[in-house]
């Protein structure tokens, strides 16, 4: 078996349970493997540290799939995907495979009703797409398998963005019936794989505080929080989203749920809207802030923190005593301590005392590996402004 042999001491992260080998940690590669091939990972004394897939074009040169001496063949992928599926509670839409969290680095597999959507985020997975499609068909008997590898991270692997129907027939449209609301998504057109499945568990929690209250949902996408709030009997709901297609979808979803006229959809930059409402001294009882990631790198953390501070400060100023702020970050570089510090800072500037009602996180179909901090990325606080 071709091997990647590490420099002395560079096995430590792997031994501690983290599956990545960086380019700078490699002393030599033996046996002339090609990019995308299976390789053994060995420490400087050539002791076996697991088996993974190679891509010398990526800074993350090997991703470990197993610590055992087992073949990374189609049967292996089938076992892993089956195990991932067993771990999940199956609902109308859920993430079946979440990359490293299911010991399948680079593979995302989401199930929307009878349709499967995959993302191949690494070269190793990209090469094995035919296997993934066959396994997905065997295990789930879908009507179609769609690829949404139109993700910018593919560039880091030397791969172009791509999307399309890999198997079966579909126009991408699917209607999903959740407990809180129904939605329609287009799996071929909408952001990510169609929906932000990681927020699924948080709609009901936030909606539970919305009856009879004035709600502002910022960065609302298809209106998940806004729809749940309106269904729960909010007095008024405003949803702010910069993307026109997302806004149109959200409007359609309101209609689908008999909520036409109950939600005001605003297609605008949420930073501008928050600034304007703050200067007009507008008041809301519940504000949701679920922005896109403000940084994908460690270098931009300070800029990102300024962004979080600005929106949280403005939101807090608009909340009277008893008001609630549901605030999120999905940048894994913004750890819990940093995020908490920025909210504390914003609350101090807004002259508000806030208490933590609940800590919010990514839904359980996006599990976190304790030894792999990158798998934990969605952090949220549900805060109450005190008198």
Which residues contribute to the site for ligand SAH (CB under 6 A)?
A: 191, 196, 199, 219-222, 224-225, 240-243, 246, 269-271, 290-292
Mapping DSSP onto H, E and C, the string for the chain reads CCEEEECCCCCHHHHCCCCEEEHHHEEEEECCCCCCCEEEEECCCCCEEEEEEECCCCCEEEEEEECCCCCCCHHHHHHHHHHHHHHCCCCCEEEEEEHHHHCCCCEEEEEECCEEEEEECCHHHHHCHHHHHHHHHHHHCCCEEEEEECCHHHHHHCCCCEEEEEEECCCCEEEEECCCCEEEEECCCCCCCCCCHHHCCHHHHHHCCCCCCEEEEECCCCCHHHHHHHHCCCCEEEEEECCHHHHHHHHHHHHHCCCCCCEEEEECCHHHHHHHHHHCCCCCCEEEECCCCCCCCHHHHHHHHHHHHHHHHHHHHCCCCCCEEEEEECCCCCCHHHHHHHHHHHHHHCCCCEEEEEEEECCCCCCCCCCCHHHCCCEEEEEEECC
Show the tokens assigned to 372.
Answer: 């792999």
Q: Is 267 a catalytic residue?
A: no
Q: Which is nearer to ligand SAH, 81 or 286 (CB)?
A: 286
CB of 371 to ligand SAH, least distance (A): 28
Please give the C-alpha separations between residue 370 and each of 1, 95, 185, 367, 374, in angstroms, as whole numbers: 30, 19, 32, 9, 10
CB of 193 to ligand SAH, least distance (A): 12
Name residues whose C-beta falls within 8 Å of residue 258's C-beta, 6 or more positions apart in sequence: none
Q: Which is nearer to ligand SAH, 36 or 201 (CB)?
A: 201
Q: Which is nearer to ligand SAH, 190 or 376 (CB)?
A: 190
Q: Which is nearer to ligand SAH, 3 or 329 (CB)?
A: 329
CB of 362 to ligand SAH, least distance (A): 12
CB of 348 to ligand SAH, least distance (A): 25
Q: Which is nearer to ligand SAH, 67 or 243 (CB)?
A: 243
- Are 218 and 312 in contact by the 8 Å Cβ rule? The answer is no
CB of 16 to ligand SAH, least distance (A): 32
- Are 197 and 363 in contact by the 8 Å Cβ rule? The answer is yes
- Are 237 and 218 in contact by the 8 Å Cβ rule? The answer is no
CB of 224 to ligand SAH, least distance (A): 3
Q: Which is nearer to ligand SAH, 180 or 374 (CB)?
A: 180
Choosing from 210, 218, 267, 330, which is the catalytic residue?
330
Q: Which is nearer to ligand SAH, 181 or 221 (CB)?
A: 221
CB of 284 to ligand SAH, least distance (A): 16
CB of 304 to ligand SAH, least distance (A): 13
Q: Which is nearer to ligand SAH, 270 or 369 (CB)?
A: 270
Question: Pairing between strand 48-54 and 3-6?
Answer: unpaired
User: Annotated catalytic sites, by residue?
Assistant: 330
């Amino acid at each position: 078996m071709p091997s990647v042999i590490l420099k002395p001491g560079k096995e430590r992260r792997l031994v501690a349970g983290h599956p990545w080998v960086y380019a700078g940690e490699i002393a030599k590669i033996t046996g002339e493997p090609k990019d995308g091939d299976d390789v053994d990972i060995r420490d400087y004394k050539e002791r076996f540290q697991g088996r993974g897939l190679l891509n010398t074009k990526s800074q993350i040169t090997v991703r470990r799939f197993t610590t055992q001496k087992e073949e990374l063949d189609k049967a292996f992928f089938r076992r892993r995907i089956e195990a991932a599926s067993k771990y999940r509670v199956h609902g109308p839409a859920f993430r079946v495979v979440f990359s490293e969290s299911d010991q399948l680095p680079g593979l995302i597999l989401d199930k929307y009703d009878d349709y499967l959507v995959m993302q191949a985020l690494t070269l190793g997975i990209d090469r094995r797409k035919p296997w993934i499609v066959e396994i997905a068909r065997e295990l789930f008997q879908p009507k179609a398998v769609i690829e949404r590898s139109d993700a910018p991270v593919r560039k880091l692997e030397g791969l172009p963005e791509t999307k399309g129907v890999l198997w079966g027939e579909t126009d991408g449209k699917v209607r999903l019936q959740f407990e809180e609301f129904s939605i329609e998504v287009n799996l071929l057109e909408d952001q990510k794989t169609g929906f932000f499945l990681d927020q699924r568990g948080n709609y009901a929690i936030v909606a539970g505080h919305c009856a009879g209250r004035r709600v502002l949902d910022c960065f609302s996408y298809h209106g998940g929080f806004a729809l749940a709030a309106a269904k729960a009997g909010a007095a008024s709901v405003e949803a702010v989203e910069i993307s026109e297609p997302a806004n149109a979808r959200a409007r359609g979803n309101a209609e689908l749920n008999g909520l036409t006229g109950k939600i005001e959809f605003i297609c605008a930059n949420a930073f501008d809207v928050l600034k304007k409402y703050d200067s007009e001294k507008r008041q809301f009882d519940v504000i949701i802030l679920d922005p896109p990631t403000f940084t994908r790198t460690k270098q931009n953390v300070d800029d990102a923190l300024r962004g979080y501070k600005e929106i949280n400060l403005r939101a807090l100023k608009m909340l009277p005593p008893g008001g609630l702020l549901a605030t999120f970050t999905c940048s894994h570089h913004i750890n819990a301590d940093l995020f908490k510090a920025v909210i504390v800072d914003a609350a101090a500037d807004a002259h508000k005392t806030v208490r933590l009602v609940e800590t919010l996180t990514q839904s359980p179909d996006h599990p976190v590996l304790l030894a792999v901090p990158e798998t934990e990325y969605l952090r949220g606080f549900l805060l109450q402004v005190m008198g």
